[in-house]
Amino acid sequence: MAPATSSASSAVTLNINGEKHQLTVDHRTTLLDALRERLDLTGTKKGCDQGQCGACTVLVDGRRAVSCLSLAVASDGREITTIEGMAEGDRLHPVQQAFLDLDGYQCGYCTPGQICSAVAVIEEHAAGWPSAATDDVRPEAGPPPLTPDEIRERMSGNLCRCGAYVSIVQAVARAAEAHEANRRESRTENAKEAAA
């Protein structure tokens, strides 16, 4: 039976970490509150609740979004990834592993948002997207090296009250290197298969 709705609420299907959740939400409910209060996915954190700190960052259709400024009804049918969906079973996502190995956190409150953001940063950079720190934005210049300045700029929407920024930048750089190595490896494999 479809969930009851009213003029102030609607039934939505939230696709979160590969699982469909059907619920009725007040039109004013943010995606953050739906995750935390309705679905018990408390890995996504509430910091400022006004789009300033990045603690609530999740991926929506692969792009970063601050879930405190996103409405649950506007997320209907979209693919949402939260920190709970990053690992594959016991195997941490490479970004999670890099944060762990390099102490990219202290209290950990900002960490889910930092990690979601970093996953998207690495993809955006690999796709050749420039940032405000990129010197040469001409398409033919190719992707800029992911320098600490580039990482700081691209991660600037995620604040860390503990000031773990030095380690966070190192962790993002390490995860980006691993990502690039994987990409090179799969390109080589594909080329071998095509030549066979």
User: Is residue 110 within the footprint of ligand FES (CB under 6 A)?
Assistant: yes
The full DSSP string for 105-162 is -SS-SSHHHHHHHHHHHHHHHHTT---TT-S---GGG-SPP--HHHHHHHTTT---TT
Q: Which of 14, 160, 172, 175 binds ligand FES (CB under 6 A)?
A: 160
User: Is residue 46 within the footprint of ligand FES (CB under 6 A)?
Assistant: yes
Cα 119-59-139 angle, rounded to 5 deg: 60
Indicate the residue among 108 and 145 with the shorter CB distance to ligand FES.
Answer: 108
User: Is residue 59 within the footprint of ligand FES (CB under 6 A)?
Assistant: no
Indicate the residue among 52 and 156 with the shorter CB distance to ligand FES.
Answer: 52
User: Is residue 34 within the footprint of ligand FES (CB under 6 A)?
Assistant: no
Picking from 113, 122, 134, 133, the residue whose alpha carbon sits closest to that of residue 57 is 113
User: Is residue 156 within the footprint of ligand FES (CB under 6 A)?
Assistant: no
Say if strands 63-66 and 57-60 run parallel, antiparallel, or are unpaired.
Answer: antiparallel
Cα separation, 115 vs 43, whole angstroms: 11
**Nearest distance from C-beta of residue 58 to ligand FES, angstroms:** 10
Q: Which of 47, 85, 94, 112 binds ligand FES (CB under 6 A)?
A: 47
Q: Which of 5, 37, 51, 61 binds ligand FES (CB under 6 A)?
A: 51
Indicate the residue among 161 and 183 with the shorter CB distance to ligand FES.
Answer: 161
| 5 CA to centre of own chain | 31
Q: What is the three-class DSSP state of 7? A: coil
Residues near ligand FES (CB under 6 A): 46-49, 51-56, 66, 68, 105-111, 160-162, 164
